[in-house]
Amino acid sequence: MESRVLKPILAVYVVAFLLFLYGPFFVLTILSFQQGPDGGPQFPITEWSLYWYKQIFGLTPPSRIAPLPVGEALIRSLVLAFMTMVTSTVLGVMSAQAFRRKFTGSSVVFYLIVLGMMVPGVLTGLGTSLLANNVLGIERHWYTTAFATHVAYTYPFAFLVMLAILNRFDGSVEEASWSLGVTPWTTFRKVTFPLIFPGVLSAMLFAFTLSLDEFPRSLFAAGGSGDQTLPLAIYGTFAVEIHPNIFAFGVLTTLFSFALLSVYGILMGLSVRRARKLAMQEDIA
């Protein structure tokens, strides 16, 4: 009875959801196989080709369309995302660890940390560059000011992930370790960290992906043209004219992300399976 009404509605909802989620990417993927260099970013496909993919890697003869200026920007963005990931995850794990015990002012500190993901990105970027330029006298670079804004932004995510993980963490294994004469630091390395590692992995993934495609915070904080991150460089090419080479690049980065996610999924799946087996054993016992 109910399902006769509900099911079609749900079906429509799911189709719409999938359309909005994957539709743009689907269109983008098709257009990336447009013929080049004369084919534009629109239908119909005049001829299927891999021209734009080759163009990204500089495998096509020179033409009036400049190659995407992504080489250095990509490296910069990857290095920046990596630096941000390491810093934010370390900070996130450490501060979440601190929050396992109540301390005076803990709620104030909590909101101060979380503020980093609440404040509008453009404001943070602008504010940081003004602060660096006019007050501190620090030169703006992707590895100085932009790095700072990226950490301020991704650290709360890593912190919240670790907070959720440590919330469910049973501290008695740590106490057991102490009672065996093992120092708190060694206990953290040998017991706590291996057990919270799936969470650490999530925090790392969050920080990395958020930093990699961060635009508003980099806009002002990243400095001059020699400091452009990937999102800034791509945005720069939009300003003139759009060619399917951007779509081809989008497809490649998406595939890269999927590869990363798959690795994460496999690692996660393994540890979840272990946990489930543990729970099952406990039910039997």
- Residues forming the site for another protein (CB under 8 A): 170, 172-173, 175-184, 186-187, 190-191, 194-195, 274, 277-278, 281-282, 284-285
- Least Å from the CB of residue 96 to another protein: 20
Q: Residue 123 has which token pair? A: 């404001």
With H, G, I as helix, E, B as strand and everything else as coil, classify residue 250: helix
- Least Å from the CB of residue 190 to another protein: 6
Q: Residue 242 has which token pair? A: 């759009």
Choose between 173 and 261: whose C-beta lies nearer to another protein: 173
C-alpha dihedral over 17, 23, 25, 29, to 10 degrees? 150
- Least Å from the CB of residue 162 to another protein: 18
Choose between 24 and 194: whose C-beta lies nearer to another protein: 194
For the chain, how many residues are written?
285
Q: Quote the CA–CA distance of 38 and 56 in Å, as a whole number.
A: 16
Per DSSP, 44 falls in state S
Choose between 100 and 277: whose C-beta lies nearer to another protein: 277
- Least Å from the CB of residue 283 to another protein: 11
- Least Å from the CB of residue 104 to another protein: 15
C-alpha dihedral over 270, 200, 249, 26, to 10 degrees? 60
Choose between 266 and 278: whose C-beta lies nearer to another protein: 278
Choose between 115 and 267: whose C-beta lies nearer to another protein: 267
Q: Which helix (H) or strand (E) holds 196?
A: helix 193-212
3-state helix, strand, coil in the chain (%, to 5): 75, 0, 25
